[in-house]
């Protein structure tokens, strides 16, 4: 899936902040500012 590929690359680029991107079942992805 192209979206999963982009999210994976984004997570690898932001390193330690990758945990900020979570998967919301039925909705998509959520970026939280913790």
pLDDT of residue 33: 85
Write the DSSP string, the chain: -HHHHHHHHHHHHHGGGGGGEEEETTTEEEE---
Q: In this model, does residue 34 exceed pLDDT 80?
A: no
Q: In this model, does residue 6 exceed pLDDT 90?
A: yes
Average pLDDT over residues 12-20: 88
pLDDT of residue 24: 92
- Identify the band that residue 17 occupies on the pLDDT scale cut at 50, 70 and 90: confident
pLDDT of residue 16: 87
29 and 14 Cβ atoms separated by less than 8 Å: no
């Amino acid at each position: 899936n192209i979206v999963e590929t982009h999210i994976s690359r984004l997570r690898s680029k932001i390193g330690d902040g990758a945990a900020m991107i979570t998967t919301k079942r039925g909705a998509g992805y959520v970026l939280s500012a913790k």
